[in-house]
A and B are shown apart, each in its own frame.
Chain A
Amino acid sequence: MSGKVMVVDDSAMSRRTLRRILESANYEVIEADDGMAALEKYFLEKPDLVMLDMLMKGMYGLEVLAKLREMNKDARVVIVSADIQNSTREMAKEAGALDFINKPFAAESVLNIVTRILSEETRPNGIDREAE
């Protein structure tokens, strides 16, 4: 499986961990450490999938998600967050996120979700599964 994945997180630790996991499965990884950088890189690099943190300095993840969807209504975004609340998962779903991964994440779970989403030809209708 190949594809370009953009990891958006203000935590270098989380970016490093996701990069390691994704590169182990031969995905190309680009990084952004805040929302503005993410929007710029999305425009320039056109990644196949965005893995987006919820809680970042400057612009919150759901704001970034809304702007990505304005740029591309079919933007594929997975939320990666420490927030374990069901209500947060619902908010992400309503905002158009395709899935939701809780931190700390397991490599297998991350790769399963990324592989599934990138293998789908058309965009499914948001999160429809329980937590991994």
Chain B
Amino acid sequence: MVLTERQNDALTELINIAFARTGAALSELTGHRVLLDSPSVALHLASELDKSLSRFVPGEVAWIHQVFHGPVAGDALLLLNYEGAVHLTELLTDESNDSNRLDESAREVLTEVGNILLNACLGVFGNVLHVHVGFSVPRLRLDTIKDLIAWLNRGRGELRYALVVFTRFQIKESQVNGYLVLVLNMDAFDRLVKEIDEWIEENNGRQNINS
């Protein structure tokens, strides 16, 4: 699957808007200013996801998963480096976590944060592209990247694409590394591209799609 330059520009702009909303939600949650790196976007076959995610820290990551459904359906994942996830829960609970482990209470907080951030991001997709996106209940897992990819591709014979967006949130002088991964099958990806084309048409009068 190859996107044209205009489609790629539009997709990048859509993700910029979505991440700005996500960053704002994170700022509201933590009560701190959130500095957001410009997100980088890559498209991979789901089976080759490790190429992109290998840049991520080794060891365990905290990831929140939601299935999304509707005209554009798939799996949405928010991945946070473990240390960043611990720090995020400290900011949200105003409690210091000396153990540096994510206990049950911290996991519960993190699951809700993932729900809010994934909704903030995918909700922008829904609003801008005029498609309704429904969500499953979020689930948190702690795994290595390798186990995550194996889980994601389990029992999947179909060709699926993974849209990987990497960014860094800086909150209160600490860095939280985050990946957003959207995994779509061919039909869903075609539909996403079609909606993006329509969005480009809508914006034809204003051809400057800013990055």
Write the residues of chain A forming the contact surface with B, with a CB cutoff of 8 angstroms.
10-14, 55-57, 81-88, 103-104, 106
Contact = CB atoms under 8 A, between A and B. Distances in A.
6 contacts: A11-B111, A81-B119, A82-B116, A83-B119, A84-B21, A104-B28
B137 A87 contact: no
Q: Is the interface of B mostly helix, strand, loop or mixed?
A: helix
Contacts of A14: 112
A100 B24 CA distance: 19
Q: Is the interface of A mostly helix, strand, loop or mixed?
A: loop
Given A12-B108, A104-B28, A87 B115 contact: no
A11 B115 contact: yes
Contact of A104 (B25, B109, B127, B132): B25
Contact of A83 (B111, B135, B136): B135
B39 to A, nearest CB: 18
A48 to B, nearest CB: 26
A84 B122 CA distance: 9
Contact of B112 (A11, A84, A86, A106): A11
Q: How large is the interface on B (under 10, 10 to 19, 20 to 34, 35 or more residues)?
A: 20 to 34
B41 interface: no
Contacts of B92: 13
Given A57-B137, A81-B119, A87-B132, 7 more contacts: A11-B112, A13-B112, A83-B123, A87-B126, A87-B127, A104-B28, A106-B28
A81 B135 CA distance: 11
Contacts of B115: 11, 55, 82, 103
Which of A14, A56, A82 gathers most chain B CB within 10 Å?
A: A82
A72 B199 CA distance: 43
A30 B111 CA distance: 23
A57 B124 CA distance: 24
Nearest to B119: A82
A1 to B, nearest CB: 25
Contact of A55 (B21, B28, B29, B135): B135
Top 10 A-B residue pairs of the complex, sorted by shortest distance between their CB atoms? A84-B123, A82-B119, A11-B112, A85-B126, A87-B132, A82-B116, A104-B28, A104-B29, A85-B123, A13-B112
Nearest to B89: A13
Contacts of A86: 126-127
Contacts of B126: 85-88
Given A11-B115, A55-B115, A87-B126, A82 B120 contact: yes
